[in-house]
Amino acid sequence: MNCTAPAAEPAPPVPDATQVLAVMERVADWQLVHPAANRPKDGWVQAAGYTGIMALAGISESPRFDEAMMKMGAENQWKPGSRVYHADDYCVVQTYAELSLRHHDATLIAPATERFDAILAHPTPVGREFNSPQRVINWWWCDALFMGPPAWLRVWKATGKQAYLDFAVENWWKTSDFLYDRDEHLYFRDATYFDKREANGKKIFWSRGNGWVMGGLVRVLQYLPADHPARPRLERQFREMAARIVALQQDDGFWRSSLLDPANYPAKEESGTGFFCYALTWGVNHGLLDRGTTLPVALKAWAAVGTCVEPDGRLIHVQPIGADPKKFDENATEPYGVGALLLAGSEIYRLARAPALAGGK
């Protein structure tokens, strides 16, 4: 049963690229001045924000965003987070690797390669066990697919070491085989949600959790070679999830915190919506998703996300850190919400710069 009503209004037009960039820069500038000092600089909360700032650095004429990320990396001594096997602590490596590629400086990823080589040498799982003593995986929560595989792919791109690419792909499918619901085409956050249900009796599928996965799919496909044997399967999963997400968008352009019980979580939620906007627009821009059915959804999502930006650039309506749908203060903000907006904006910007060329299906 589809839990969303038909769209009440047509999608907005493709926005002006200059205006998109202006919104992105205003949001990023606010975040850089207010850097969530209570969050570790090498932790996933900040690092997810850095992914968006790097996307902005790739389209802005100003060097300040690249410079801010170089400063951050130097302050972190270019080190991943401290937990060796925890995917959240690889997220920051995505930015180090992109900076290494941009500046042609391998020293920026030296600590990351040291960490990844240690994992390859000692790959014994230290994750949680679910359902049976034989079921042990490191990346046991769906968010890990945004944090981990894109980092390993980027370090592979920077070094050429095939083992990094192989590790990313292998562990994507371990997590997917564990958490992907093949009937719903959505991810459970982790195994503790397999048997839980929402107030309306539906399965619990968290918006941002599935946003993490969709964003992770994009960030893997960006670097995965076109002829890699895993690519058709990843693209198929991307299309499956995209079709389901499109069907679940609400009339105002948002996805609610709970994808299958939006009525019980009526508040706007920016972070899941931002990541879905990013993934859907990227799919249109790269010809993987049908332009006619997907683009209106992506544009409505971008317009919705824009309503979360305050005049000074502060981003609100971001669900706080958690693991499942929640009710929350509408003024809440976090760096990962900024990352979602900036990633989405980077693809909307490309769409706006060449709308006649973006997509083709």
Average pLDDT, the chain: 93
pLDDT over threshold 80, residue 99: yes
pLDDT at 8: 45
177 in active site: no
pLDDT over threshold 70, residue 355: no
> Residue 181 half-sphere exposure, CB side, CA atoms within 13 Å?
19
pLDDT at 132: 46
Q: What percent of the chain clears pLDDT 90, i.e. is strictly above it?
A: 89
- Give me the mean pLDDT over the 181-198 stretch: 97
pLDDT at 354: 82
pLDDT at 358: 42
pLDDT band with cut points at 50, 70 and 90 for residue 133: very low
Note the pLDDT tens digit of each residue in 224-264.
999 999 999 999 999 999 999 999 999 999 999 999 999 99
Query: Which of 66, 89, 143, 261 does the annotation list as catalytic?
Result: 143
The domain locations on the chain are 17-353
pLDDT band with cut points at 50, 70 and 90 for residue 137: confident
Assigned CATH topology for domain 17-353: Glycosyltransferase (1.50.10)
